[in-house]
Structure 1
Amino acid sequence: MNSPPWPPAAERTDGSAVRIGALVPLTRPGWVEAGRHLLAGLDLAVGEANDAGGIAGRPLELVVRDTAADPERAAAAVDELAGLGVAALAGEYHSVVARAAAARADALGLPFLCSSAVLDGLTEQPTEWVARLSPPQSRGWQVYADFLLGAGHSRIAVAAQPSVYWASGTRVLRDYLTPRGGTVIELDMSVLTPTAVRDELVGHRATALLLLVGHPEPAVSIVRSVRRDQRLARIMIGAPAGQPEFAEWVTLLGDDGAAIPFLRYRPERLGALGTRVETTLCERLAEAPSFVAFEGYDTIAVLADLLRTHGKDRARTAASWPRVDVAGTRGRIRFSRVPGVNVWQWAVPPVQVVDRDPASPDRFRILHAG
């Protein structure tokens, strides 16, 4: 998919609008479905902000740039958007891409509210210019590790591709599981085929396999291969990065895509705001919105509040992260400094481990919360 399902409002050139730059993966090799949901949330919140009077009577405008999961392309987009005079940056889904965007935003003095990337090391050094809504990977993946231990899994194989993000996730799992009696077995997907993974799992006596790989491939092929091997009938397949969240997963895998636990960042029950936003996003997306769509909406809710309160001066916006107190779709949003994280962080976003119900793959089951 090369474009969102609806066109964002046309960009104004008369200087009347307050502009927010949006970084979104909308083409391959980016995770296009995640980008579509992220943009849906961003765009909905912009429309609602304008319905409520905009920013001191001026319309809020989203200036969208496709990152296509390319860090260099994202960094160039940050330069372009800074030159266009945006008041702030929003968005991005891929952690490695968000890291490149955050570094450039920090260098340029451009406020960036990262919607959905979780890599703890989003920036190399502490910065006042960047804040984040999604939980750091160390928190979310530790919740996932707790779930694994509680489900009786102590020999856990990770099928991982080379990536800073996957390597970081593997390290979080190992550091948490090893002192608690767990063993993490690394399967290098740069040399193994999906078929070869099966023999590795049998040989290592693994009881769980985690997919730390790209979507749809090789994730889909690994699932199909493992599901068809009777020797592995009892193995649990997991996907902490959230591949099964999106409808494409069920389209590609059908029943094979069920019962694969993943991380989702939403509460068990949405409040009034979240419920209303969910209904509207369902209509826009023609499917249930993922947590990524809620992250997009919450990003604009925070930035619109800051811009109304403090104006569009970039330095004043960045200085105001610690004063944010905004009702989001998934809870009250406030930023603080979290140990080990160099950006302003929403410290308590909800974290769940869920899967798709084998009896009805369109329905999610909550397995664990943290």
Structure 2
Amino acid sequence: MNAPASPHGAERTEGSSVRIGALVPLTRPGWVAAGRQLLAGLELGVREVNDAGGIAGRPLELVVRDTAADPRRAAAAVDELARLGVAALAGEYHSVVARAAATRADALGLPFLCSSAVLDALTEKPTEWVARIAPAQSHGWRFYADFLLGAGHSRIAVATEPSVYWASGSRILRDHLAPRGGTVLELDMSALAPAAVCDELADNGATALLLLVGHPEPAVSIVRSVRRDRRLAEITIGAPAGQPEFAEWATSLGDDGAAIPFLRYLPERLSPLGARVETALRERLAEAPSFVAFEGYDTVAVLADVLRSNGANRPCTGEFWPRVAVEGTRGEIRFSRRPGISVWQWAWTPVQVADRDPAATDRFRILRAR
């Protein structure tokens, strides 16, 4: 999807459009389901901004570029969007891709509000140009580690693939669990088949296996293998990266995909704004919206507020990020500097550990919330 999206409600505004560049994974090997949810939230946000009069009478326009989970493609898209004169960048789901985009945006002095990527080190050095709606990985994954300990799991195995994101997740879990009596055993999926994972689990006595791998593969094959191995009937499968959030998880795995705890970034109860947006997103997607769709909507809400306050020309980000105070779908959004985080961070969005209900896999159960 390389053509600019047409702004909704543009007939209500006057003058040339104000453009926001949107980075979204819309083709493989990107996680297309996540990209579709993110884009739906971004598009709904743009439609509502334009229905309310746009930015000082000018329509807001989303210029969409497909990153396909490719960091080089994302960096090239940032260069192109900068040449097109976008006022800001938004979006991206994959952390490694968002890091490439953030690095390039910082070099160009182009504001980038990252919607969904969680890697703590989104840029190598602190930047004034980049902010983030999603929580940092360390925030969510430490919460998940506490959930595991509370459920009686201290010996954890992780099935992992080579990636900065997965390596960061393993390190966060290990560093948080070790002082509390927990251990983490890494199973390298570049060297092991799913059946071999089952043998490793049976031999080392782990009570939980976490999926730090891509979807659909090898995640689906690992789940099926573990579920069918009688030696592992009592083991808990977990997915801190949130794979079970999306409908294709249930479609691929059916009942095998239930009772797999994962992280999602939603409150226990949505505000009136969140409930209204949920209804609109459900109509747009023809399925239940994920937290990623809410992240997209909130991203546009923040950028629209910034653009109204500072004008469509690129403002000095060091001045406007800390002044943001916007009602989002999941709480008031404000940005601050957090230890170890190189970008302006919303600290923090609500977080849950949830799973799909074995009695009805299209229904979620909240297991822990903050």
TM-score range, shorter chain: over 0.9
Q: Is contact 2:128–2:317 with CA below 8 Å preserved after alignment?
A: no
Asked whether the 8 Å contact 2:15–2:57 carries over to 1, the reply is no
1:140-170 superposed Cα distances (whole Å, 9 cap, x missing partner): 0000000000000011000000000000000
Change (3 A) 1:10 1:308: closer
Q: Alignment identity in percent?
A: 79
Cα-to-partner distance string for 1:227-283 (whole Å, 9 max, x where unaligned)? 000100000000000000000000000000000000000100000100000001001
Cα gap change, 1:357 to 1:134, in 2 (>3 Å): same
Q: Which residue of 2 aligns with 1:48?
A: 48
1:6-25 Cα offsets, whole Å, 9 max, x none, are x931799x981000000000
Deviation at 1:174, TM superposition (A): 0.1
Structure 2 residue 77 is the aligned partner of structure 1 residue 80: no
Give the structure 2 partner of residue 357 of structure 1: 357
Partners of 1:308 and 1:316 in 2: how far apart? 14
Distance 1:266 1:83 in 2: 36
Cα 1:308–1:82 change in 2 (3 A) is same
Q: Residue 245 of structure 1 aligns with which residue?
A: 245
Please give the secondary structure, in 1, of the residue aligned with 2:332.
strand
Task: Quote the offset at 1:73 in angstroms.
Answer: 0.1
Distance 1:225 1:207 in 2: 16
Q: State the partner residue of 2:367.
A: 367
Partner of 1:320: 320
Alignment map for 1:1-370 (pairs within 5 Å): 8-9=5-6, 16-370=16-370
Q: 2:203 & 2:102 partners in 1: Cα distance?
A: 42
So what's the TM-score if we normalise by structure 2?
Answer: 0.97
Task: State the Cα distance separating 1:316 from its structure 2 match.
Answer: 3.2
Give yes or no for contact 2:2–2:64 (8 Å, CA) kept in 1: no
SS in 2 for 1:350: coil
Q: How many pairs align?
A: 366
Residues 147-203 of structure 1: per-residue CA shift (max 9 Å, x gap): 000000011000000000000000000000011000100000010001110000011
Q: Aligned partner of 1:265: which letter? A: Y
- Letter paired with 1:103: T
Mapped to 2, the partners of 1:145 and 1:317 lie a distance apart of 34
In 2, the alpha carbon distance for the partners of 1:3 and 1:243 equals: 27
Deviation at 1:292, TM superposition (A): 0.0
Q: Contact conserved, 2:2 with 2:66, CA < 8 A, in 1?
A: no
| Cα 1:322–1:45 shift into 2, 3 Å | same
1:100-147 CA-partner distances (Å, limit 9, x unpaired)? 000000000000000000000000000000000111000100000000
**Letter of the aligned partner of 2:90 in structure 1?**
A
| Distance in 1 of aligned mates of 2:89 and 2:318 | 11
1:317 Cα deviation after fit: 4.5
Three-state SS of the structure 2 residue aligned to 1:315 is coil
- Report the CA distance shift for 1:121/1:15 in structure 2 as closer, same or farther (over 3 A): farther
Give the conservation status (yes or no) of the 8 Å contact 2:20–2:90: yes
Q: Match of 1:354, SS?
A: strand
> What code does the residue aligned with 2:212 have?
L
Partner SS state of residue 362, structure 1:
strand
Q: Residue 314 of structure 1 aligns to a residue in which SS?
A: coil
Give yes or no for contact 1:307–1:317 (8 Å, CA) kept in 2.
no
Q: Is contact 2:90-2:113 (8 Å) kept?
A: yes
Cα 1:254–1:166 change in 2 (3 A) is: same
User: In 2, are the aligned partners of 1:250 and 1:257 still within 8 Å (CA)?
Assistant: yes
Instruction: In structure 1, list runs of 5 or more residues that go unmatched.
Output: none
SS at match of 1:260: coil
Q: Distance in 2 between matches of 1:105 and 1:316?
A: 13
Is the alpha carbon distance of 1:166 and 1:15 closer, same or farther for their aligned partners in structure 2, counting shifts above 3 Å? farther
Report the AA paired with residue 343 of structure 2: V
Separation in 1, partners of 2:2, 2:249: 20
Does the 8 Å contact 1:249/1:257 carry over to 2? yes
- 3-state SS, counterpart of residue 316 of structure 2: helix
| Residues 109 and 315, structure 1, Cα contact 8 Å, conserved in 2 | no
Supply the AA of the counterpart residue of 2:132. R
Alpha carbons of 1:70 and 1:15: their partners in 2 closer, same or farther (altered >3 Å)?
A: farther
Distance change >3 Å, CA 15–CA 193, structure 1 → 2 = farther
Q: Distance in 2 between matches of 1:250 and 1:364?
A: 11
Structure-1 separation of matches of 2:50 and 2:286: 23
The offset of 1:54, in angstroms, is 0.2
Alpha-carbon RMSD: 1.6
Q: CA offset at residue 3 of structure 1?
A: 9.4
- Structure 1 length-normalised TM: 0.97
Q: Which runs of 5+ in 2 are unaligned?
A: none
Report the Cα distance in structure 1 between the residues aligned to 2:315 and 2:307, rounded to whole angstroms: 12
